[in-house]
C-alpha cells in the first residue's frame, strides 16, 4: 500500500490521470493575486489591547492572520522542517511500516486526503500524528530519523502553548472571558500533519489540497520558508497567495471558532497548490475540542430574541460528518445551521 506514496517514486514527467482535476475545478494560477494587507500581528507588542483588536479584525475580515515574535525559537522551526524532510526521504520500506489509509488511525503515513472516498487525488503525502497527551502517543511515533521524536515533541509543546495563548486573545476579542473558548472546548486534543508536496509536472491541473476549511478550532501552520503554496479565499471570490515570512506562523480559524462566535468570525477557505520547480513542506498543528465537548454559540454573542446561527452538537458528531464527505464539498457547518435560518 505504501507504493501509493508520491515520495517513493522518481520524479514524473507527466501528471497521472487520477490527479487531473476537471477543467472547471483547476487552480487557475495566473488569476491568483497577492494582498499587501494580509494581517501580520506582532505578539511582542506592549500594546496588548491593540493586539487583541487586530486579532478580532483579522478574524472577522480574513479568517486567518500571521504572527511574528511568538516566542518559539527560529532554530526549532528550522529543525522541525529539516527532520520532516528527512522522514519523507527515508527508504520506501521504512515508510511502508507507517502507511495507512484509515482516517481514524491516530498515527499514520498516507497520501492525498481520503483515498477511500475521493475520485481525484491530491499531490500530497502526509504524516499524521496525535500529539496530546504527548506521553500517550510519543512511543508510537517514528523513531527514524533518530532525532524525530525529540525535535517534534519539543515543537508540539511550544505550539500548544502558543495556540492556547491565541485562543485566549480570540476570546477577549469577542468580548468574552479570556478562558471562555478554552473551557468550552474541553481538554483539547492536538493533531499534526507534516505535509510533503513533491515537484509536480503539471501544477496547473491539480492541487496539493483543494479548497477546504479546517474542522477543528485553531490551526497553527508552519510554512516552508522558501516555497509558496498556501492560498486563501478572500471575499468569497478571489484567491490570494500567502507567501511565507521568516519565523512566522499562519493562524487559521477552524469551523469550531466560527460556530462558537455565532458566525461573527469566519473559518477560512484555503488550499495548497504545487509547482514544477521545487518540492514543498508544511507543518499544520490542529487544536481540537475533546470529542465530548458540546459546541454552540456563546450565549453572550446571541442577541435577545434572535436564534443562534448554529445548533448545539458534539465535536465527535461534527468530526464524523466531516470525514464522511469529500474535502471540497460545501461547508460542513452548513449541516449544523439552525433550521429556521436555513429557511430564510
Inter-residue contact 50 to 165 (CB < 8 Å): no
For the chain, the domain total comes to: 1
pLDDT for the residue 267: 95
The answer to whether 173 and 55 have CB atoms below 8 angstroms apart is: yes
Q: Do 127 and 140 touch, CB atoms closer than 8 A?
A: no
CATH of the domain at 116: 2.60.120.330
The pLDDT score that the predictor gives to residue 3 is 63
- Could you tell me if residue 187 is inside a domain? yes
Average confidence score pLDDT of the chain: 93
Assess contact for 240 and 35: CB atoms under 8 A.
yes
Which cell is 307 given?
436564534
User: Is residue 8 domain-resident?
Assistant: no
Which residues share a beta bridge with 220? 251, 285
pLDDT at residue number 343:
39
pLDDT, position 133: 94
pTM here is: 0.95
pLDDT of residue 237: 87
Q: What whole-number distance in Å separates Cα of residue 261 and Cα of residue 276?
A: 40
* Grid cell in block for residue 201: 509536472
> Could you identify the residue written with the cell 490527479?
19
Q: For residue 10, tell me if it sits in a domain.
A: no
Q: What is the pLDDT of residue 183?
A: 96
On whether residue 294 sits in a domain, the answer given is yes
CA dist., res. 64 & res. 211, Å (int): 15
How far, in Å, CA of 243 to CA of 203, rounded? 17
Cβ density class 39-48: b for 16+ within 10 Å, e for less:
bebebeeeee
Residue 339: predicted pLDDT: 67
Assigned domain for 33 exists:
yes
- pLDDT tens track of the chain, all 344 residues? 456 899 998 778 899 999 999 999 999 999 999 998 999 999 999 999 999 999 999 999 999 999 999 999 999 999 999 999 999 999 999 999 999 988 889 999 999 987 777 889 999 999 999 999 999 999 999 999 999 999 999 999 999 999 999 999 999 999 999 999 999 999 999 999 999 999 999 999 999 999 999 999 999 999 999 999 999 999 888 999 999 999 999 999 999 999 999 999 999 999 999 999 999 999 999 999 999 999 999 999 997 777 899 999 999 999 888 877 776 677 899 999 986 554 34
Asked if residue 181 lies in contact with residue 171, where contact means CB atoms within 8 angstroms, the answer is: yes
Whole-angstrom Cα Rg for the chain: 20
**How large a percentage of the chain has pLDDT more than 70?**
96
160 in a domain, yes or no?
A: yes
What is the pLDDT, as a whole number, of residue 282? 98
Where do we find the cell 487552480?
Answer: 27
Does 252 fall in a domain?
A: yes
Structural domain including 23 reads: 15-339
**Residue 6 covered by a domain:** no
Amino acid at each position: 500500500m505504501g507504493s501509493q506514496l508520491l515520495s517513493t517514486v522518481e520524479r514524473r514527467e507527466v501528471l497521472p490521470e487520477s490527479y487531473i482535476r476537471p477543467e472547471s475545478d483547476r487552480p487557475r494560477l495566473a488569476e491568483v493575486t497577492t494582498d499587501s494587507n494580509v494581517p501580520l500581528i506582532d505578539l511582542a507588542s506592549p500594546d496588548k489591547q491593540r493586539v487583541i483588536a487586530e486579532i478580532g479584525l483579522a478574524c472577522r475580515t480574513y479568517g486567518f492572520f500571521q504572527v511574528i515574535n511568538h516566542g518559539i525559537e527560529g532554530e526549532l522551526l528550522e529543525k522541525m522542517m529539516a527532520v520532516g524532510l528527512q522522514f519523507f526521504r527515508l527508504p520506501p520500506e521504512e515508510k511502508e511500516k507507517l502507511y495507512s489509509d484509515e482516517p481514524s488511525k491516530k498515527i499514520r503515513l498516507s497520501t492525498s486526503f481520503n483515498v477511500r472516498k475521493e475520485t481525484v487525488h491530491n499531490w500530497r503525502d502526509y504524516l499524521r500524528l496525535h500529539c496530546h497527551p504527548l506521553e500517550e502517543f510519543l512511543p508510537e511515533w517514528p523513531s527514524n530519523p533518530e532525532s524525530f521524536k525529540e525535535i517534534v515533541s519539543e515543537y508540539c509543546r511550544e505550539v500548544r502553548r502558543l495556540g492556547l495563548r491565541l485562543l485566549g486573545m480570540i476570546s477577549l476579542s469577542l468580548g468574552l472571558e479570556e478562558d471562555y473558548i478554552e473551557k468550552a472546548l474541553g481538554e483539547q486534543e492536538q493533531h499534526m500533519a507534516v505535509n510533503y508536496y513533491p515537484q509536480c509536472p503539471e501544477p496547473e491541473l491539480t492541487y496539493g489540497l483543494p479548497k477546504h476549511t479546517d474542522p477543528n478550532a485553531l490551526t497553527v501552520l508552519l510554512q516552508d520558508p522558501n516555497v509558496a503554496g498556501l492560498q486563501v479565499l478572500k471575499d468569497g471570490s478571489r484567491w490570494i497567495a500567502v507567501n511565507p515570512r521568516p519565523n512566522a506562523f499562519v493562524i487559521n480559524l477552524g469551523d469550531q471558532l466560527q460556530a462558537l462566535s455565532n458566525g461573527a468570525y469566519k473559518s477560512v477557505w484555503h488550499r495548497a497548490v504545487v509547482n514544477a520547480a521545487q518540492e514543498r513542506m508544511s507543518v499544520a498543528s490542529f487544536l481540537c475540542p475533546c470529542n465530548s465537548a458540546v459546541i454552540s454559540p456563546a450565549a453572550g454573542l446571541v442577541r435577545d430574541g434572535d436564534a443562534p446561527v448554529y445548533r448545539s452538537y458534539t465535536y465527535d458528531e461534527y468530526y464524523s460528518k466531516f470525514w464522511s464527505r469529500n474535502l471540497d464539498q460545501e461547508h460542513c457547518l452548513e449541516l449544523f445551521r439552525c433550521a429556521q435560518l436555513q429557511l430564510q
